[in-house]
RNA sequence: GUCCCCGUCGUCUAGCCCGGCCUAGGACAUCGCCCUUUCACGGCGGUAACACGGGUUCAAAUCCCGUCGGGGACGCCA
């Protein structure tokens, strides 16, 4: 148990692609734990895989984490007392520790070639034996090994795995024990001099005085190998917490083919960061009682408990994320939503980048009207079609409206409405309501029979927002200079009637 | 093949460690009703789960063993 001093945790991603949903969840749990315990959250970049690592991914990664609301106390950009925070910048330390292990007889040089090892592995598999290293080079006399190495023979460094079961404590799973027979002496430094991941992490975590290693459960069988390194070096073994895998709807590990799997994807979809954070926290963790779902950041920090994290894998449920997103959209400061919504409309070419005050106000009205009913903000441009897109012929043909046109009173209502409405120039809520009341009396219709046809005439669909919100926005919108013209009520009625007559013929 | 991890409604989960309060709770989704001169939102209600088989016990979702199913690891990858 590491209970002395302050908690130190770390998130150590490889900058080899977009920040994945599974990885942010790991980052989030580390962060929540650190913030609650008033500990330190370290960001360390594992960029030893030079082939795949790219700086732009690192930049993206930091930006995505910040967007979600995660911050770190030490990291490549902010520095800290345990610098450097990029693995590629700290190669020397790894070699020094390895030299010490050799000197102490806890590690040895291995002269086996990759081909030899591959052959042994295949043979073991064929004989249904454990495909682990035989320990052949363990027997080589150290002085002899030193001579061969000095003579230029390439050698990797292997750690002697102790001959007793290796056990460690996992906060999520309890005590875990691996028989040493299944491990085999691990290479810790390649013949080229580069350290192996399972060795490098240990050095890094120990150097940085990490007290709790919280990571994905794909590392669980790496853990005994790492514990062996800690023990050989006489270093304090940290506490572990292995988080379960996040699955797609088909119960397969969440991957690209499941669609949106990166933080960036969700940001572009118009998922609010607090919704994503709340959802991710609920994937694998639940408060005691398990009867609360809404957890804003501050509440999460207060309630989060590593010991309550579930060990079983979880299927990522987009619907529940959307539900939370709707909640936070409604909850959020109006101005923020107006601004964000306008950005999505702008990206869709419905608004221009520079907006004067009138347009800004109008756009805010549009977003205000539509936003509470969308799952994600990127649905806004489509929903705004009731303003920007009006095609009478399409509305008449649409199967969605077939039922409306099948109603016996439809012609009567449409004609009565058109007759009155086309005479009116600038509509107001009052004038519109007056018209509605008149045709209600004239046609003797009400409810659906009255409203559905009128709605189809005006927005091409029988469902949509209330007229007293809609009419003013249509009218003011029609008078603004926008990239896509918003047709006025009268324009709509006129166009509809032309199409309606054409239909009749 | 061997080792490790996991297994409660369709999904996320509470309960499990410390057996009885579990007639198994909440949420998403779904279905129904109400609200609404439309649709949604919202409110109310319903359907729906302890993987299977053995033990232990007066009593098991909870403890033990086994089976089955899913995932991971066994690299001079991370």
Predicted interface score ipTM higher than 0.85 = yes
- The distance (Å) linking the CA of A292 with the C1' of B13 is 10
3-state DSSP helix/strand/coil % of chain A, to nearest 5:
55, 10, 35
- The distance (Å) linking the CA of A9 with the C1' of B16 is 29
Counting Cα atoms < 13 Å in the Cβ hemisphere of A357 gives: 0
Global pTM reads 0.92
* Residue A288: φ, ψ to 5°: -65, 140
DSSP, residue by residue, A59-116: HHHHHHHHHHT---SBBTTTB-TT---BGGG-HHHHHHHHHHHHHTTSEEEE---HHH
Task: For nucleotide B40, give the residue with the nearest CA to its C1'.
Answer: A373
Sequence-distant (6+) residues with CB within 8 A of A266 are A21, A260, A276, A321
* Sheet of strand A40-43: strand arrangement: A40-43, A8-11, A212-216, A239-243, A166-170, A174-178
What confidence score (pLDDT) does residue A131 get?
86
Cα(A97)–Cα(A90) distance, integer angstroms: 12
Q: How many CB atoms lie within 10 A of CB A434?
A: 12
- SS3 label, residue A317: coil
DSSP, residue by residue, A163-187: SS-EEEEETTTEEEEE-GGGT-PEE
What confidence score (pLDDT) does residue A230 get?
95
* Sheet of strand A186-189: strand arrangement: A107-110, A156-159, A186-189
Tell me, yes or no, if A256 is annotated catalytic.
yes
What confidence score (pLDDT) does residue A91 get?
80
Identify the active-site residue in A6, A66, A256, A330: A256
10-residue block means of pLDDT along chain A (505 residues)?
72 90 95 96 87 87 96 95 88 88 95 90 82 90 94 94 91 91 92 90 94 94 94 94 92 81 93 96 92 93 94 93 94 93 95 91 94 92 92 82 79 84 81 84 80 89 88 91 90 86 72
What confidence score (pLDDT) does residue A2 get?
41
Q: How many CB atoms lie within 10 A of CB A104?
A: 11
Nucleotide nearest to A464 (CA to C1'): B39
For residues A304-323, one letter each, b for 16 or more C-beta atoms within 10 angstroms of the residue's C-beta and e for the rest, the string is bebeebeeebbebebeebbe
What confidence score (pLDDT) does residue A504 get?
63
Which strand B nucleotides have any atom less than 7 A from protein CB atoms?
Answer: 1-8, 10-16, 25-29, 37-42, 70-78
Q: Which tokens sit at A294?
A: 């809404």
* Residue A284: φ, ψ to 5°: 105, -5
Sequence-distant (6+) residues with CB within 8 A of A153 are A111
Contact between A213 and A238 under an 8 Å Cβ cutoff? The reply is yes
Q: Which tokens sit at A398?
A: 């649409």
Q: Which tokens sit at A387?
A: 């303003």
What confidence score (pLDDT) does residue A1 get?
41
Helix segments in A444-484, DSSP class H: 447-459, 467-478
Contact between A486 and A358 under an 8 Å Cβ cutoff? The reply is no
- The distance (Å) linking the CA of A186 with the C1' of B24 is 47
Question: Cα A364 from chain centroid?
Answer: 28
Sequence-distant (6+) residues with CB within 8 A of A272 are A325, A328, A329, A332
Contact between A472 and A433 under an 8 Å Cβ cutoff? The reply is no
């Amino acid at each position: 148990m590491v209970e002395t001093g302050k908690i130190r945790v770390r998130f150590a991603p490889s900058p080899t692609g977009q920040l994945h949903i599974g990885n942010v969840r790991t980052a989030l749990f580390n962060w929540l734990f650190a913030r609650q315990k008033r500990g330190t959250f370290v960001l360390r970049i594992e960029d030893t895989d030079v082939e795949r690592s790219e700086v732009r991914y690192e930049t993206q990664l930091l930006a995505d984490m910040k967007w979600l609301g995660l911050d770190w106390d030490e990291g490549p950009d902010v520095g800290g007392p345990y610098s450097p925070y990029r693995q590629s910048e700290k190669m020397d330390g790894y070699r020094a520790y390895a030299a010490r292990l050799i000197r102490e007889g806890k590690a040895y040089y291995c002269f086996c070639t990759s081909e030899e090892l591959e052959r042994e592995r295949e043979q073991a598999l064929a004989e249904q034996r454990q495909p682990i290293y035989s320990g052949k080079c363990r027997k080589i006399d150290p002085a002899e090994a030193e001579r061969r190495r000095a003579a230029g023979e390439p050698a990797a460094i292997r750690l002697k795995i102790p001959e007793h079961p290796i056990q460690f404590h996992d906060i999520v799973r309890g005590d875990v024990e691996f028989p040493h027979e299944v491990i085999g002496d691990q290479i810790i430094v390649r013949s080229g001099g580069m350290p192996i991941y399972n060795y490098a992490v240990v050095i890094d975590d120990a150097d940085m005085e990490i007290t709790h290693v919280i990571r994905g459960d794909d590392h669980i069988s790496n853990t005994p190998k790492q514990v062996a390194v800690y023990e050989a070096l006489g270093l304090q073994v940290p506490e572990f917490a292995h988080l379960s895998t996040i699955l797609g709807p088909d119960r397969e590990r969440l991957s690209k083919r499941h669609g949106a799997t990166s933080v960036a994807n969700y940001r572009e979809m118009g998922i609010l960061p607090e919704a994503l954070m709340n959802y991710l926290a609920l994937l694998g963790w639940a408060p005691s009682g398990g009867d609360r779902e809404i957890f804003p950041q501050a509440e999460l920090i207060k309630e989060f408990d590593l010991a309550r994290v579930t060990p079983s894998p979880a299927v990522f449920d987009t619907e529940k994320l959307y539900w939370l997103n709707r909640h936070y959209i409604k909850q959020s400061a109006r101005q923020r939503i107006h601004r964000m919504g306008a950005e999505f409309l702008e990206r869709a070419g419905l608004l221009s980048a520079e907006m004067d005050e009138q347009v800004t106000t109008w756009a805010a009205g549009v977003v205000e009207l539509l936003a509470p009913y969308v799952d994600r903000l990127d649905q806004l441009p489509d929903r705004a079609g009731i303003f920007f897109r009006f095609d009478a012929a399409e509305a008449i043909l649409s199967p969605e409206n077939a039922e409306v046109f099948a109603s016996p009173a439809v012609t009567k209502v449409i004609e009565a409405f058109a007759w009155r409405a086309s005479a009116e120039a600038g509509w107001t809520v009052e004038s519109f309501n007056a018209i509605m009341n008149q045709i209600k009396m004239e046609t003797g219709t009400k409810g659906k029979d009255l409203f559905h046809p009128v709605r189809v005439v005006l927005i091409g669909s029988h469902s949509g927002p209330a007229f007293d919100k809609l009419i003013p926005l249509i009218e003011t919108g029609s008078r603004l200079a926008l990239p896509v013209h918003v047709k006025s009520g009268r324009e709509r009625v006129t166009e509809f009637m032309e199409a309606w007559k054409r239909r009749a013929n």
